[in-house]
């Protein structure tokens, strides 16, 4: 299977299946000297861990991470960092029936079409547990960004028809949905309770805002920063839409309304009077806040009776068993944040060679006469 590696200079490869012995990631290209221990990574993994409340799967996993390589005396060594999370609560028997049919909304049919074989236990590589490796690697990328003063704030913007109308960053971690609006979180809870009682599921939108990002990141043709971010976010299972800045709303605006006019402030800094571009112009960061959104479909595993076909092509009705999230959006907040951080660190490292001045600062030594 190709396609499990992401990045150029800061590169990750995730591995493992939902019901295998474990899940993990190898990170190559992390600079030496970064302070790192398992607790740094665990904080991020705890944000996506299942079994925390009514609105996540009942699967009970501690998701404790072990650093296997690349760290010595709590410092990265510059060699590949290998991370492992053991699977502890697989109940593969819950999926035994799935081997004979294709679940609507899942990758069952396409996996069979591609490989002629699939791991039906929880979806194998297409399971949401694959994102453990992304989140573990993203925790390291986020630490690198923090050293540079770059901040990422990620939260749930909407759940079903319930959308955030007020923003309070302190509220994000006060509710199980990671919504920055207490009233919206209450309304979302009521909406999801109805979905659960009806054996149904819901989707939503995650928004990510990156502050203090320097201008100049991204390449102007195929490796545009927004193009690489789009690939990163679309690689997350269940993502069906992606926006930068004004996104699809730009189609109903005029040029005069949408263009971000430029000014110089009293300190001589270039500023924009608006940010419809979402912090990226011509595929290159412009120094203003980077704003992106990811749209997630409803969880496809629902207990309601559905129509499908079995492997013999016969029409059948099914009721999916097992433990599933009624909504994956809250647990995906940290996944979106992680993929954003990984993309940005890779762009920062790539950008170090874009100007001769950058190389001179790194390598040129002034020798006194």
Distance, in Å, from the CA atom of 202 to the CA atom of 207, rounded to the nearest integer, reads 17
Contact indicator for 164, 158 with CB cutoff of 8 Å = yes
pLDDT, average across residues 14-20: 87
Per-residue tokens: 96: 């035994």
Average pLDDT over residues 255-275: 93
Helix (H) or strand (E) holding 345: helix 329-351
Read off φ and ψ for residue 305, nearest 5 degrees. -65, 130
Q: How far apart are CA 103 and CA 109, in angstroms?
A: 8
- Render 277-297 in DSSP notation, one character per residue: TTTEETTEE-SS-EEEEEEEP
The SS3 of residue 97 is: helix
CA–centroid distance for 249 within its chain: 23
Band of pLDDT at residue 350, cut at 50, 70 and 90: very high
Q: Say which residues have a Cβ less than 8 Å from residue 355's Cβ, sequence separation at least 6.
A: none
Token pair in block for residue 204: 């939503």
Of 22, 24, 2, the closest CA to residue 14 belongs to 24
Q: CB–CB of 84/22 below 8 Å? A: yes
Output the pTM of the full model: 0.92
Domains of the chain: 5-363 (3.60.150.10)
Residues 65 and 42: their CA atoms lie apart, in Å, by 6
Q: Tell me the two tokens of residue 237.
A: 């299972």
Is 200:193 a contact under the CB 8 Å cutoff?
no
| For residue 320, pLDDT beyond 90 | no
pLDDT at 362: 87
Instruction: State pLDDT tens for residues 56-95.
Output: 665 556 889 999 999 999 999 999 999 999 987 655 555 6
Q: What is the pLDDT of residue 319?
A: 85
Alpha-carbon span 163 to 179, nearest angstrom: 9
Token pair recorded at residue 47: 């944000």
What share of the chain in percent tops pLDDT 90? 73
CA-based R_g, the chain, Å: 22
């Amino acid at each position: 299977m190709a396609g499990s590696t992401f990045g150029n200079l800061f590169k990750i490869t995730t591995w493992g299946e939902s019901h295998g012995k474990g899940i993990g990631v190898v990170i190559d290209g992390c600079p030496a000297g970064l302070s790192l221990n398992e607790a740094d990574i665990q904080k991020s993994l705890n944000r996506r861990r299942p079994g925390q409340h009514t609105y996540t799967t009942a699967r009970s996993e501690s998701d404790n991470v072990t650093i296997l390589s690349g760290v010595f005396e709590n410092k990265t060594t510059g060699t590949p960092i290998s991370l492992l999370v053991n699977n502890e609560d697989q109940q593969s028997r819950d999926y035994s029936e799935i081997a004979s049919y294709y679940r609507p909304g899942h990758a069952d049919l396409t996996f069979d079409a591609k490989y002629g074989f699939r791991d039906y236990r929880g979806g194998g590589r297409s399971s949401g547990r694959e994102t453990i490796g992304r989140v573990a690697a993203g925790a390291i990328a986020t630490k690198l960004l923090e050293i540079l003063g770059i901040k990422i704030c990620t939260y749930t913007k909407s759940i079903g028809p319930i959308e955030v109308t007020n923003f309070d960053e302190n509220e994000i971690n006060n509710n199980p949905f990671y919504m920055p609006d207490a009233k919206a979180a209450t309304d979302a809870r009521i909406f999801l309770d109805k979905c659960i009682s009806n054996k149904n599921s819901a989707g939503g939108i995650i928004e990510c805002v990156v502050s203090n990002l320097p201008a100049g990141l991204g390449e102007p043709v195929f490796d545009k920063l927004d193009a690489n971010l789009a690939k990163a976010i679309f690689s997350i299972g269940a993502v069906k839409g992606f926006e930068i800045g004004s996104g699809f709303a730009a189609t109903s605006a005029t040029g005069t309304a949408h263009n971000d006019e430029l000014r110089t402030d009293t300190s001589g800094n270039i500023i924009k009077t608006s940010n419809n571009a979402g912090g990226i112009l011509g595929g290159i960061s412009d120094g203003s806040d980077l704003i992106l959104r990811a749209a997630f479909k409803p969880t496809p595993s629902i207990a309601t009776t559905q129509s499908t076909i079995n492997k013999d092509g016969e029409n059948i009705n099914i009721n999916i068993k097992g433990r599933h999230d009624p909504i994956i959006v809250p647990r995906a907040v940290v996944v979106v944040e992680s993929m954003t951080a990984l993309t940005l660190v890779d762009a920062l490292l790539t950008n170090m060679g874009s100007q001769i001045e950058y190389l001179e600062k790194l390598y040129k030594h002034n020798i006194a006469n």
